[in-house]
């Protein structure tokens, strides 16, 4: 999201193209506040406030422009930035507020976008260590204020690569409709996938999980069904070989308390065996058809 307001236009000016004018100072028991105006020949300007504590240490800078406002807070003892807050109007007319809070090596960033009518449009949250992002989440909202889609990314803190992606789709009443989880290995390939469908009452209805081998082929697929009270009612398990052919399949049924009551297991031969069996059946049918023709004649 880019803002082409006065902030960016001022940032593009060289140091010799704008000037800072001191327009006043306020002194009280808590410290001192100085007021400044940044101007240039291009008629681009900021109104700046610099706040000092009673020890003359800079603790805050406030910048105000026509379509934007920013606040930067500093630690009085070290001068390090501890908080940055920005509010601006985007080119599409929406309003954006962004706050970054620094704590030791970590930083937390929160972005909120609101439509001109005051409706919540999007929220973004990001957690970082230095320049490396550890977590980022984004939620888009419907005009009625209920969430529509949420996407969360979690990175591996050791290498910064994507380790987990979560996708959530929401119902009109704010309940979850679908949740998907993608888990990635060190090489970036999907190692596990989970999809959960929900009852209208909010509990899980169907959960499907895929597990993949190092080359990306599916090893296992499990489907679990739940009743509206959250009790497991059935589970279907399918196993695959390295050629993605089904080798085994089992189905287990559960009673209203979640206890297994019956299990059906079947060994599935590889595809070559199925083909051989199919060819054998075709030969038998051809032979039977030939015998019938001979009898007719």
pLDDT score recorded for residue 66: 81
Q: Is the dihedral of CA 85, 88, 91, 92 positive or negative?
A: positive
C-alpha 65/C-alpha 32 separation (Å) is: 22
Q: Considering only CA atoms, give the Rg of the chain.
A: 32
pLDDT tens digits for range 219-237: 999 999 998 888 999 999 9
In 231-270, which positions are buried (b, 16+ CB within 10 angstroms) versus exposed (e)?
A: ebeebebbbbbeeebbeeeeebebeeeeeeeeeeeeebee
H helix or E strand, kind and range, residue 149: strand 147-155
Q: What is the rounded CA–CA span in Å between residue 36 and residue 27?
A: 15
pLDDT digits (tens, 9 = 90+) for 102-121: 988 899 999 999 999 999 99
First-residue to last-residue Cα distance in the chain: 83
Token pair for 66: 């026509």
Q: Residue 288 has what pLDDT?
A: 54
> From CA 152, how far away is CA 164, in angstroms rounded?
8
CA–CA separation, 193 vs 153, rounded Å? 14
**Which portions of the chain are predicted below pLDDT 50?**
1-13, 15, 270-278, 281, 292-293, 295-297
């Amino acid at each position: 999201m880019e803002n082409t307001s006065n902030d960016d236009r001022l940032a593009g000016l060289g140091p010799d193209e704008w000037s800072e004018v001191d327009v006043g100072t306020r002194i009280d028991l808590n410290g001192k506040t100085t007021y400044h105006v940044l101007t240039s020949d291009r008629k681009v300007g900021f109104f700046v406030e610099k706040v000092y504590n009673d020890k003359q240490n800079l603790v805050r800078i406030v910048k105000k422009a026509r379509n934007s406002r920013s606040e930067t807070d500093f630690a009085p003892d070290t001068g390090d930035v501890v908080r940055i807050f920005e509010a601006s109007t985007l080119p599409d007319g929406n309003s954006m507020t962004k706050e970054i809070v620094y704590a030791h090596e970590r930083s937390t960033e929160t972005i909120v976008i609101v439509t001109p009518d005051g409706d919540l449009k999007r929220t973004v949250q990001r957690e970082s260590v230095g320049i490396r992002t550890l977590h980022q989440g984004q939620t888009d909202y419907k005009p009625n204020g209920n969430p529509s889609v949420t996407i969360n990314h979690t990175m591996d803190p050791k290498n910064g690569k994507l380790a987990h992606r979560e996708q959530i789709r929401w119902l009109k009443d704010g309940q979850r409709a679908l949740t998907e989880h993608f888990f990635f290995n060190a090489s970036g390939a999907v190692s596990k996938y989970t999809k959960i469908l929900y009852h209208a009452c909010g509990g899980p209805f169907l959960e499907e999980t895929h597990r993949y081998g190092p080359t990306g082929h599916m090893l296992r697929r499990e489907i679990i069904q739940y009743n509206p009270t959250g009790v497991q009612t059935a589970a279907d398990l399918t196993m695959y070989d390295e050629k993605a052919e089904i080798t085994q399949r089992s189905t287990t049924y559960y009673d209203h308390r979640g206890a297994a009551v019956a299990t059906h297991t079947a060994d599935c031969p590889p595809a070559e065996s199925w083909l051989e069996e199919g060819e054998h059946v075709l030969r038998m049918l051809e032979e039977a058809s030939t015998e019938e023709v001979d009898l007719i004649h």
